[in-house]
Amino acid sequence: MITLKEVKNKKDLKAFVKFPFTLYKDCEYWTPPIISQEMSTFNKNENPVFQDAEAQLFLAYKNNAIVGRIAAITNNLEIQDQNIKKMRFGWFDFIDDLEVSKILLDKVAEIGKSKNLEYTEGPVGFSNLDKVGVMTEGFESTAPMVTWYNHAYYVKHYEAAGYEIEKSYSESRFPFENVKPEFFKKAQELIKRRYQLKALKFTKTSEVMPYVDKMFDLFNASYASLSSFVAINDIQKAYFKKKFISFVNPEYIKFVVDKNDELVGFAIVMPAFTAALKKMNGKLFPFGFRHILNAKKNSKDVIFYLIGIHPDYQNKGVHAVIFNEYYETFKEKGIQTCFRTPELEDNHAIHQIWKHFDPVVYKRRKTYKKLL
């Protein structure tokens, strides 16, 4: 018999966060999250997303053992401001038992109906900066820290529950040696002169901070046209600034500004922390920070986390300026492989940006939808 328990205290939350450590203990491709960060994600006193969102967490038990989990999420900005009547769900993990996945999905549907919502979609997080999608291809490659990994059997559980594909994403990679400077070297000089642009270089995190709010404003502007985009508000900016920027080498943050010092383009690249996270096994203390700092300094793989161009400058070659900056940085650091985070397969503009690097898709993922 399967029973559900709603997470109501810190002990249950820790069990919720740590369940994947049991489910994937024998999987070499799964990357452990940082437990303390996962805990803070669901802490209403720490994560400002809860000013505009709600989450109910559930654990499924069988024979007194945890066999599944799910987060039922409503984003009120999405529901009220955009009139998108969506019940979100994420952090959805389970053993290969259809009864387990069904009872968890049924609970999400029950909550969605009680709120008069029209459909459920997942796996997704609270916002567009959270992890997204269930893997459908690429199970024999390690997941970076900014994505979810899942067993191959997950897909059949969505299908058995009557869910249909809503969005499709792809992840790609390319060796740094594929980056040929002739594709952007001359072009970026012309573009800088034509539009009176300049690239900013950083060596300290403190130098980046004055531009971070503008970066999130540009993120909102450049991604607004994508499906299901929910803007980042001022309080969330401060939270993400604290949560993410310290993990990023300042030299891996590239900004392009106009003659008035207004931001027109940005990109954030992160070192690949996968090996460090595996050594940490979820724990920052006592030695986790040492592994993170080592990866930050010495990792030869990088992940393109975000890139955004102001709508007024899209299709004007600003990305060439950004790529030129990264080329010089990566060459100096001996970078070997570049990875890209999940991108909507219908986001043709972003795919055009990367075409000269001959990227290879190595993972695909989907979100699934069901009408209530």
pLDDT at 293 over 90: no
Residue 304: left (phi > 0), alpha (psi -120 to 50), or beta? beta
Q: Which residue would you say has higher pLDDT here, 209 or 246?
A: 209
Q: In whole angstroms, what is the distance from residue 270 CA to residue 152 CA?
A: 27
pLDDT per residue as tens digits for the range 26-69: 999 999 999 999 999 999 998 988 999 999 999 999 999 999 99
Q: In whole angstroms, what is the distance from residue 4 CA to residue 59 CA?
A: 6
Burial track 183-213 (b if 16+ CB lie within 10 A, e otherwise): bbeebbeebbeebebebbebeeeeebeebbe
Residue that is written with structure tokens 């066999």 in the block: 67
C-beta separation of 102 from 161 below 8 A: yes
pLDDT of residue 105: 98
Q: Which residue would you say has higher pLDDT here, 72 or 308?
A: 72
Q: Give the chain's domains with CATH numbers.
A: 2-170 (3.40.630.30), 175-363 (3.40.630.30)
Phi first, then psi, for residue 360 (nearest 5°) are -115, 125
pLDDT at 364 over 90: yes
Q: In whole angstroms, what is the distance from residue 268 CA to residue 252 CA?
A: 6
Of the candidates 171, 151, 178, which has an alpha carbon nearest to the alpha carbon of residue 92?
151
Mean pLDDT, range 119-137, rounded to an integer: 93
pLDDT band at 196, cuts 50/70/90?
Answer: very high
Average pLDDT, the chain: 92
pTM: 0.92
pLDDT per residue as tens digits for the range 248-262: 899 999 999 999 999
pLDDT of residue 352: 79
pLDDT band at 228, cuts 50/70/90?
Answer: low
Q: Which residue would you say has higher pLDDT here, 305 or 72?
A: 72
pLDDT of residue 227: 62
Burial track 145-170 (b if 16+ CB lie within 10 A, e otherwise): bbbbbbbeebbebbeebebeebbebb
pLDDT of residue 337: 96
Structure tokens at 110: 């029950």
Q: In whole angstroms, what is the distance from residue 331 CA to residue 241 CA?
A: 27
Say if residue 123 is exposed, middle or buried (CB neighbours under 10 Å; 0-12, 13-18, 19+): buried
